[in-house]
Structure 1
């Protein structure tokens, strides 16, 4: 292990460029990221993704957590409440879980969006505790992944 550690160079380490995050997420974060305001960058990215989808679906009047819960909930949409649905046939294992008896993966997407709103967006909005660059990058990556799933 010592030989392996000593033989490594910086070029062996994986690189990560925040500018390659989902465009909606990075556009919200970038101005604050460059000034090392990581908490604000994460908050703005979270807000930006929610605003993006609220505007696309015409649902600007709904609170954020409720918006995600309604927009990604199972079942048919109600008039005036458009929803996002996971594409594909229900027998496809990328649509249903690997154990066909569990709920469709769309339910997990609902929980992911709601969970990020409650644990990341709310915390960065209602506290003043600064995040480290690593903590902020992990949160932005989670939002970027969510954004890419929502695009599907």
Structure 2
């Protein structure tokens, strides 16, 4: 046992704890994860992230995929339709290592949200096929990373004019 413990401590394989995922993701997934319901854990985490941002932005008027597409699209926010925007001047080509300014990053975040909804959330919601622990972990990790990116974004709202 001592040899095993020493070998484990010297291992090049990093330790991994799903409890270190983004708080919104792990809070929604934990109860299902610990009972080995990996598909349900992924579904609940994906739903929780969308609900979290819909509530923060006051956008319960739109379906999930459309919400992400509108919220992360390029352009100015409209009345009642705030946007999440990567911080910094749009023309800054050196910040965050973005070639072409921040517009490509907005598109990438939009594509990531849409892709996760279509390939992970919808599959976890509309099928009954259980995921393996590895498959579930990978999907939760993708959502956790996405959640951390969103946390770095600024919320931009349309400017209100007097009388409106």
After TM superposition, the score normalised by the length of structure 1 is 0.89
Q: CA deviation at 1:96?
A: 6.7
Q: Which residue of 1 aligns with 2:84?
A: 84
Write the distance in 2 (CA, Å) between the matches of 1:101 and 1:45. Answer: 31
Moved over 6 A (4+): none
The answer as to 2:11 corresponding to 1:10 is no
Q: CA deviation at 1:9?
A: 3.1
CA deviation map 1:32-58 (0-9, x unaligned):
000000000000000000000000000
Q: Which residue of 1 aligns with 2:94?
A: 93
Residue pair 2:74, 2:103 contacting (<8 A) in 1 also: no
Aligned to 1:84, the other structure's residue is in SS state strand
Write the distance in 2 (CA, Å) between the matches of 1:103 and 1:54. Answer: 23
Residue pair 2:45, 2:140 contacting (<8 A) in 1 also: yes
After TM superposition, the score normalised by the length of structure 2 is 0.83
CA deviation map 1:47-89 (0-9, x unaligned):
0000000000001121000000000000011111111111012
Provide closer, same or farther for how the CA distance between residues 77 and 41 of structure 1 changes in structure 2, counting only shifts above 3 A. Answer: same
Residue pair 1:96, 1:102 contacting (<8 A) in 2 also: no
Any stretches of 5+ residues in structure 2 without a counterpart?
1-5, 153-164
Residue pair 2:92, 2:101 contacting (<8 A) in 1 also: no
RMSD: 1.7
Residue pair 1:32, 1:41 contacting (<8 A) in 2 also: yes
Write the distance in 2 (CA, Å) between the matches of 1:148 and 1:45. Answer: 14
Q: CA deviation at 1:91?
A: 1.5
Any stretches of 5+ residues in structure 1 without a counterpart?
1-7
Q: Which residue of 1 aligns with 2:115?
A: 115
Q: CA deviation at 1:113?
A: 0.7
